Amino acid sequence: MAQARLAIDGGPRAKTTPNIPMYPGGYEIGEDEKREVCDALDKKYIFRYYMPDGLTSKVAAFERCIADMCGRKYALAVNSCTSALICALEACGIGPGDEVIVPAFTYWSSASAVLSARAVPIIAEVDDSFTIDPADLERKITPRTKAVMPVHMRGSACDMDRIMDIARRHGLKVIEDNAQACGGTYKGRPLGSFGECGCFSFQYYKIITTGEGGMLLTDDERTWIRAQMVHDSAACWRPDRFAPARFPGELFFGYDFRMSETAGAIGLAQFRRLPGLLERMRRNKARICAGLADLPAKGIVPRRQNDPEGDTGICVMFMVPTVELCEKFVRALAAEGVDVMHPYHRDIPDWHVAHHWRQLIEQVTPTPEGYPFRDPARKGAPVSYDNLCPRTADLLGRAVHINVPPQMTEQDCDMIAEAVRKVADAYL
Ligand SMILES: Cc1ncc(COP(=O)(O)O)c(C=O)c1O
């Protein structure tokens, strides 16, 4: 059969339907969200704390939804996942002189939260699951390491069995960054339920959204109380806010990261949409992947899943044999009409790959001396980000990423598979 002419060479496009933006829950905002927000407004009380008698907090109800989904005892809603990560780190007592191991593929606030807690992020490779490589994590542990932050990147679980085993053996805290995989599981267990703390994002581009928002989950009451201290400088949740500390380390100055009742109201409506969103994204992804099933014979390697069953289905990722080919592949696929991107391209700045985190590599912070990177109290060799994670650069440099919005039709999915096959036939 004659090979189809690629769109990039003047042929017809394989995908002719419009691309749908990747705001899974945000794109579905409707009557339910309006009803919940109006209900909050009608009460004329949209602050989360000090609820007048007879009213109940929507933020508290939203906290219970996420905590119950994950089988966690305690939840704390905040204004972003970055705030949740800062609360988690500070609640776990991580601070000056400590190191926290973070993967090289994550949104950079996983690392910036560590710096905000005045500790130093150490960057570990990802493996072919595009999540933290447990072997490199273990290699990067030093006497200063206090925690690891597994990031369930692009909707899919880290290797939690190995990570929890390493953490146990080395006495590390585990703070899960589950910003991108709300509703995902690992071997049947909800993501966000593994470590000392699990942190979520409800920012607009996430699976479900409150516009801006985040949440911290934990099973440890004292960690939760300390996290509350971080998220609210007035400590206004306390039964008696002027009472002395109930345990050593309870009282200290925090920030103001609270979630408002209007955000909580949207969260409640969005939470009800979560099962349906996941179901549709997983179905769409399965349909696209079924259309690509024979491509490994051509040298296309699908992203390895630590647990395919628990994947949220937000994207399709695969690798091609070389970085050069990947650049051609992505250009050609975009010309075919597919919403496609490079997770990592050395010349295209991106917030999600450590090789582009200039502030980290140059160790720049708000103070001229570069604290906490350059901390006179630091024990051991100065931190260095030279020769950062070459394996991650290679794996992600050969990777192709396609979003899978829940709103896609079967025709959209089939056209995407057809476009990938067309480009693979031409280039591989
Ligand atoms: C992996 C990861 N961690 C943390 C964050 C930060 O979330 P937020 O914008 O809610 O602070 C994001 C958001 O993009 C993310 O993708």
Domain boundaries, given as residue ranges, for the chain: 31-271
110 lines ligand 1 (CB under 6 A): yes
151 lines ligand 1 (CB under 6 A): yes
403 lines ligand 1 (CB under 6 A): no
Give me the percent of the chain exceeding a pLDDT of 90: 91
Of 377 and 316, more confident:
316
Whether the Cβ atoms of residue 402 and residue 340 lie closer than 8 Å to each other: yes
Rounded mean pLDDT of 416-420? 98
211 by DSSP, 3-state: which?
strand
176 lines ligand 1 (CB under 6 A): no
Give the span between the Cα atoms of 82 and 96, in whole angstroms: 19
Rounded mean pLDDT of 129-135? 98
Helix boundaries (H) for 205-316 = 221-231, 261-291
Whether the Cβ atoms of residue 6 and residue 333 lie closer than 8 Å to each other: no
Give me the pLDDT at residue 377, please: 82
Rounded mean pLDDT of 236-260? 86
Helix boundaries (H) for 71-174 = 81-91, 109-116, 134-139, 160-170
Whether the Cβ atoms of residue 338 and residue 421 lie closer than 8 Å to each other: no
pLDDT at 111 over 80: yes
Give me the pLDDT at residue 410, please: 98
pLDDT at 1 over 70: no
pLDDT at 371 over 80: yes
Rounded mean pLDDT of 282-288? 98
Whether the Cβ atoms of residue 160 and residue 132 lie closer than 8 Å to each other: no
106 lines ligand 1 (CB under 6 A): yes
180 lines ligand 1 (CB under 6 A): yes
Report how far ligand 1's centroid is from the alpha carbon of 292 (Å). Answer: 30
Whether the Cβ atoms of residue 140 and residue 274 lie closer than 8 Å to each other: no
216 lines ligand 1 (CB under 6 A): no
Token readout for 113 is 């939260």
Name the pLDDT band for 380 (thresholds 50, 70, 90): confident
Give me the pLDDT at residue 235, please: 63
Give the span between the Cα atoms of 327 and 191, in whole angstroms: 33
Residue 18 gets the label, from left (phi > 0), alpha (psi -120 to 50) or beta, of beta
Give the span between the Cα atoms of 163 and 127, in whole angstroms: 13
Closest CA relative to residue 395, chosen from 110, 132, 22 = 132
Give me the pLDDT at residue 240, please: 77
pLDDT at 265 over 90: yes
Give the amino acid at 118. Answer: R
Report how far ligand 1's centroid is from the alpha carbon of 168 (Å). Answer: 26
Task: Tell whether domain 31-271 is in CATH 3.40.640.10.
Answer: yes
Give the DSSP letter of residue 364: -
What atom of ligand 1 comes closest to residue 113's alpha carbon? 4
Phi first, then psi: what are they for 134, rounded to 5°?
Answer: -55, -35
What atom of ligand 1 comes closest to residue 213's alpha carbon? 10
Counting every residue, how long is the chain? 428
| Preceding peptide of 372 cis, ω within 30° | yes
102 lines ligand 1 (CB under 6 A): no
Token readout for 120 is 């130093």
Give me the pLDDT at residue 208, please: 98
Whether the Cβ atoms of residue 121 and residue 106 lie closer than 8 Å to each other: no
Q: Report the predicted TM-score, pTM, of the whole model to 2 decimal places.
A: 0.97
Of 298 and 397, more confident:
397
Helix (H) or strand (E) holding 401: strand 399-403
Report how far ligand 1's centroid is from the alpha carbon of 364 (Å). Answer: 21
Give the span between the Cα atoms of 210 and 253, in whole angstroms: 27
387 by DSSP, 3-state: which?
coil
Q: What is the dihedral of CA 249, 250, 254, 260, to 10 degrees?
A: 150
**Cα-trace Rg, the chain:** 22
Mean pLDDT of the chain: 96
Name the pLDDT band for 4 (thresholds 50, 70, 90): confident
Name the pLDDT band for 56 (thresholds 50, 70, 90): very high
Beta bridge partner(s), residue 190: 185
Give me the pLDDT at residue 249, please: 93
Contacts for 338 with CB less than 8 Å, ≥ 6 apart: 14, 15, 19, 402, 416, 419, 420
Name the pLDDT band for 59 (thresholds 50, 70, 90): very high
The pLDDT tens digits for 208-246 are 999 999 999 999 999 999 999 999 987 666 677 788 888
What atom of ligand 1 comes closest to residue 177's alpha carbon? 3
Rounded mean pLDDT of 74-98? 98
Nearest CA to ligand 1 atom 16: 107
Q: Worst-scoring range by mean pLDDT, 9-23, 163-177, 211-225, 245-259?
A: 245-259
Report how far ligand 1's centroid is from the alpha carbon of 178 (Å). Answer: 9
pLDDT at 143 over 80: yes
Report how far ligand 1's centroid is from the alpha carbon of 82 (Å). Answer: 6
What atom of ligand 1 comes closest to residue 205's alpha carbon? 14
- Percent helix, strand and coil across the chain, each to the nearest 5: 40, 15, 45
Of 203 and 346, more confident:
203
Whether the Cβ atoms of residue 67 and residue 175 lie closer than 8 Å to each other: no
Closest CA relative to residue 93, chosen from 124, 122, 118, 67 = 118
